[in-house]
Every structure is written in structure tokens, then in C-alpha cells.
Amino acid sequence: MKILALHLHSFIEYAQLRGVSRREILSVMTTPPENFLQEAATVSSEDFFAAINFITTSLKDDLLGIRLGNFLNMNSLGLIYQISLQATTIEEALFYLNNYIDNTIRVVQPEIQFIKDRIIINLSTDGDKSEASTIVLESLLTIISRELAMMTAQPLDFQLFSPACSPDYPSEWQQGKSFAISFKAALLKASLQDISRLHLDALIPEYLKLIETMKLEPTFSSKVKIASLNMAKPELPALEKIADVFNLTPRTLQRRLSTEQTTFRQIIDDLKKQISYMLLQHNRFSVADVSYVLGYSEPAAFIHSFKKWYGNSPEKVRTRLAVSA
């Protein structure tokens, strides 16, 4: 059974950020693809689970699946964009999401049930009860819950279930007989939220280019930048979220950054500075759009920050960029 290599690539990228050797992960695979990012590249289910088992054993993290799902937000945005081109309601979005899982992660079987006024999406993996299977299913459920929350204009009252759930899990998780997400069936007919102002078809490639340049720097602060961009929704995540994805306390993360003479706030400001300059080169992004993408409460606050970074207003910098192009 073949699985899209890009999925395993995401697991490996996260493991590398946590200090696991890519070479050692690939060594447990029988036939790793030459290029995981090639559109048609696949891996066997045996190699897929062998690699994830190695990562699981190396990290010894009970919340690995959830942390991985949170880390893969940039992947989620790409999928949300593709779905938004085809669907108008949550019901249609679930249909395309189900097709995506069927076609690219064939070891996972989704099943939809209606119980009273709620819909339950169960995920399973061919009867496999291994820890690696738990990691895969919990990461998928984390991604699905976030995608649904971003796509619907209404509040998503959802609950996540896992047989492995413990008191250490986030509050939205409960002990369950299967891996599942549950929410009100009435939401199926809800319209999708308008995400056009995010211009995801332009935004995602720019974020990914930034990530690639940061991989060249073997520092912890670069890893924090990479994690921040991967977890962007598209606004950048808070300190607590980033610390958790590294399985660190916020204080420990700040302490590690201080050894490189920087802070988390400086990192986020630097990323906002780079992203704002990058997006202003796209005429489709208004100043208000850039402000929204970066998570500012209003454009005036963004303009104030931008002037501090570049000494000029966003519009003046955009005009200068257009002249020099």
C-alpha cells in the first residue's frame, strides 16, 4: 500500500527540529524516495510506519501526535485553500477531505457516523494498534479539527477522542474507544468562511521560501523561526504554543534563546518584518490585508511597527519597490 511521501516528509521535518537525525530515520526504511517533495513520490506503508516508529522511540513523547498536528499548520492552510476552491459548505469540505485521505494516506480509513444531533468522524489504521498508529491518527485529528474551525464562519463546538488520552492531553481531548472527532451535525450545512483576503495561493509559497532559507542556519533560534512559520494560521503563534511543540516550558525556551543573544519576541518581530516586506511586493495584499495576516488588531498598529522597522510607511516602501522592479 502506497502513501504520499510528502506526509512522511512532514513527520521527518518535525523530528529533525526536535533533534532526531534524518539519516538515521531514513536508515530504517527499505526504499526511501530520492525526493520526498516530488509530487508523485510515495513510500510503502511498511516504510512509513518504520520511520514513524523510529521517531516515536527517539522522542519518547506521549503528546507527539498532537504536537506534530499543531506543527503542520502550513500544510493545513494549503489543504484548506484547495478545498475552498471546490466546496461551499462544511459537508462538501468533508467530502473532499475524505477523498484526500483516501487517496494520499491509504493506511487510514475514515468513517462518518450520525448519532442523535452530532456527527462523528472515526479514523482507524487497518487494525494496527501500535504507538506509531496512535501518533498518525492523533496528528490527523488535530489537523482536521483546526481545518474545520478555520473553514466555518460559526463557532465549532468539537470534541476529540483517543484511547490513549491521559490527563496530560489538551482539554478538548477525551478518553474514547476509537480515534474520532465529534461536532454538531447542523454545521454540515454551514457556509465556508471567506478566506480570500488571505490570498493563500501567494502567501503559502512565500512562507515556504522563508522556511527553506532558515534551514541553512543550524541554530536553535532558526528552529524556532521554522516552527513559527509552520504553525502560522497565518498569524504567528504565541510563545506558549511554540514552547509546547518543542516539548519545553516557555521559560526553558527563552533560556535557550538567550544563549544565542535573542528572545522570542525579537524572533517574532523579525519574522513580521520579513513577511510584511515580502507581502508588500504582491499588489493583491492591501496594507489592511498584511495587517490581518500578521495578526494586528488594526492597520494603524501595523503601520506604526512597519515605520519603526523600515523608516517609512508601507505605501511608500511599496511605491519604491514598484519603481525599482
Half-sphere exposure of 325 (CA within 13 A, CB side): 10
Decide which of 60, 89, 107 is a domain's last residue. 60
Percent of the chain past pLDDT 90, that is, above it, reads 61
Please calculate the CA angle 53-56-61 and round it to the nearest 5 degrees.
160
Question: Is 7 found in the same domain as 85?
Answer: no
Average pLDDT, the chain: 90
Instruction: Please state, in angstroms and as integers, the Cα–Cα distance from residue 3 to each residue in 9, 45, 99, 108, 204, following that order.
Output: 11, 6, 14, 10, 23
Question: Is 202 found in the same domain as 133?
Answer: no
Among 182, 67, 57, which residue's Cα sits nearest to residue 116? 182
Question: Is 137 found in the same domain as 254?
Answer: no
Question: In this structure, what CATH number is given to the domain that contains residue 307?
Answer: 1.10.10.60
Question: Is 155 found in the same domain as 213?
Answer: no
Question: Is 188 found in the same domain as 120?
Answer: yes
> E strands, the chain, where?
2-4, 42-44, 109-115, 118-124, 159-162, 173-175, 179-184
DSSP state letter for 190? P
| Arithmetic mean of pLDDT, 51-65 | 96
Q: How many independent structural domains does the chain possess?
A: 3
* pLDDT level of residue 21 (50, 70, 90 thresholds): very high
Please calculate the CA angle 205-207-210 and round it to the nearest 5 degrees.
110
Question: Is 54 found in the same domain as 66?
Answer: no
* pLDDT level of residue 153 (50, 70, 90 thresholds): confident
| Arithmetic mean of pLDDT, 92-119 | 87
Among 306, 301, 293, which residue's Cα sits nearest to residue 235? 293
pLDDT score at 122: 95
Question: Is 201 found in the same domain as 189?
Answer: no
* pLDDT level of residue 90 (50, 70, 90 thresholds): confident
pLDDT score at 286: 93
Question: 108 is in which domain, residue-wise?
Answer: 62-194
Lowest mean pLDDT among 25-34, 182-191, 244-253: 182-191
Lowest mean pLDDT among 78-82, 271-275, 312-316: 78-82
pTM recorded for the entire structure: 0.87
Question: Is 150 found in the same domain as 84?
Answer: yes
Q: Is residue 127 pLDDT above 80, yes or no? A: no
Question: Is 173 found in the same domain as 232?
Answer: no
Decide which of 177, 194, 211 is a domain's last residue. 194
Instruction: Provide the terminal-to-terminal Cα distance of the chain, rounded to the nearest Å.
Output: 49
**The C-alpha cell that represents 23 in the structure block:** 539519516
Task: State the Cα–Cα distance between residues 183 and 229, nearest whole angstrom.
Answer: 29
Lowest mean pLDDT among 110-119, 211-220, 226-235: 211-220
Question: Is 176 found in the same domain as 207?
Answer: no
Residues 6+ apart with CB under 8 A from 73: 146, 230, 231, 232, 233
Question: Is 228 found in the same domain as 188?
Answer: no
pLDDT score at 206: 82
Sheet hosting strand 179-184, strand order edge to edge: 109-115, 118-124, 179-184, 159-162, 173-175
Q: Is residue 76 pLDDT above 70, yes or no? A: no
| Arithmetic mean of pLDDT, 304-317 | 95
Decide which of 15, 36, 60 is a domain's last residue. 60
| Arithmetic mean of pLDDT, 287-293 | 93
* pLDDT level of residue 126 (50, 70, 90 thresholds): confident
pLDDT score at 128: 59
